[in-house]
């Protein structure tokens, strides 16, 4: 049999939005996920280190990653200084025992932040001894028009980041091949946001297996190659058929991840 350790499958608390961070911890534990990724957002609970730590203890489930507040929706969370947000994210990660901080590249209009972003991420990793995994994004599209909303760019392969998060919903929106991205990134790939997409202009975060992305093949390649990073289910359940439908979607995503990320016999 393979000597590789099984890949950890975590649940992003964003997968229960607009329900609370506390509901994310409850779902992760009850449904059999290994751990939790905390999306720091507009839910006040997600911004409170002591409360997040208490939820981890209460539900007896570890926190393996912190997603910094990088969305348009979270521009005012933890203040307006983007570097301040990353320092706070690192402090939370250290307090709760997480190994990874997930961060998006700057918006194009954040010129000063973008100008020093690559070097700044490197400095943060050295300062905190944490993995800052920069996530792939996508061009914004409206009809036939395309807008490059991120700087220095949406594709982390083109920049000197030590660690990267590969999001399969984002690769669908970007019309990028996630298998090629993963292979090209090699050991720089440290974190997976497992979702799916149809290739539309929307960032869909479908249950894996319901879109066009090679989610199964990617997980199988990672398992075969001894990937020792994290796989995090990050799906949109807002259109699920009520609480029962959401739970079924979260269970389906977990079963998909477990099946395809299982280490193959050697």
Closest CA to 183 of 211, 224, 150: 224
The pLDDT score that the predictor gives to residue 72 is 87
Handedness of CA 139, 140, 142, 145 (dihedral sign): negative
| Alpha-carbon span 9 to 261, nearest angstrom | 9
The pLDDT score that the predictor gives to residue 263 is 60
Compute the mean pLDDT over every residue in the chain, rounded to the nearest whole number.
Answer: 95
Closest CA to 148 of 107, 200, 112: 107
pTM, full prediction: 0.95
pLDDT by residue (tens digit) across 131-156? Answer: 999 999 999 988 778 899 999 999 99
Residues 6+ apart with CB under 8 A from 241: none
Residues 6+ apart with CB under 8 A from 95: 49, 53
| Alpha-carbon span 130 to 133, nearest angstrom | 9
Backbone angles phi, psi at 167, to 5 degrees: -105, 120
The one-character DSSP state at 159 is S
The pLDDT score that the predictor gives to residue 124 is 98
Across the range 22-37, mean pLDDT stands at: 98
Has residue 214 got a pLDDT over 50? yes
* Confidence bin at 201 (pLDDT 50/70/90): confident
pLDDT by residue (tens digit) across 236-253? Answer: 999 999 999 999 999 999
* Helix runs in 148-214, H state only: 168-174, 178-185
Has residue 3 got a pLDDT over 70? no
| Alpha-carbon span 179 to 182, nearest angstrom | 5
Q: Domains of the chain (ranges plus CATH)?
A: 8-258 (3.20.20.150)
Cβ atoms 68, 85 nearer than 8 A: yes
Determine whether 171 is exposed, middle or buried from the number of CB atoms within 10 Å of its CB (0-12, 13-18, 19+): buried
Cβ atoms 172, 207 nearer than 8 A: no
pLDDT by residue (tens digit) across 39-60? Answer: 999 999 999 999 999 999 999 9
Assign residue 51 a region: left if phi > 0, alpha if psi is -120 to 50, beta otherwise? alpha
| Alpha-carbon span 197 to 171, nearest angstrom | 8
| Alpha-carbon span 245 to 31, nearest angstrom | 13
């Amino acid at each position: 049999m393979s000597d590789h350790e099984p890949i950890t499958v975590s649940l992003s608390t964003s997968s229960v939005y607009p329900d609370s961070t506390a509901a994310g911890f409850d779902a992760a534990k009850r449904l059999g996920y290994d751990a939790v990724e905390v999306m720091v957002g507009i839910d006040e609970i997600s911004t409170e280190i002591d409360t997040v730590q208490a939820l981890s203890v209460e539900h007896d489930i570890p926190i393996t990653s912190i997603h910094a507040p990088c969305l348009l929706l979270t521009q005012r969370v933890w203040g307006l200084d983007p570097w301040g947000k990353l320092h706070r994210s690192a402090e939370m990660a250290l307090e709760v025992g997480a190994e990874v901080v997930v961060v998006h590249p700057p918006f194009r209009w954040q010129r000063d932040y973008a100008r020093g972003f690559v070097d700044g991420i490197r400095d943060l990793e050295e300062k905190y001894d944490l993995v800052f995994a920069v996530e792939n994004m996508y061009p914004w599209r409206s009809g036939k028009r395309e807008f490059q909303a991120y700087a220095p760019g949406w594709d982390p392969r083109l920049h000197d980041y030590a660690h990267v998060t590969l999001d399969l919903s984002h690769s669908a929106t970007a019309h990028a091949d996630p298998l090629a991205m993963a292979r090209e990134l090699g050991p720089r790939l440290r974190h997976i946001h497992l979702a799916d997409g149809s290739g539309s202009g929307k960032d869909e975060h479908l249950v894996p297996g319901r879109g066009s992305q090679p989610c199964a093949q990617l997980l199988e390649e990672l398992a075969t190659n001894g990937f020792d990073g994290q796989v995090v289910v990050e799906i949109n359940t807002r259109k699920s058929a009520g609480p029962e439908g959401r739970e079924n979607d979260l269970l389906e995503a977990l079963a998909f991840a477990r099946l395809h990320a299982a280490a193959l016999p050697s």
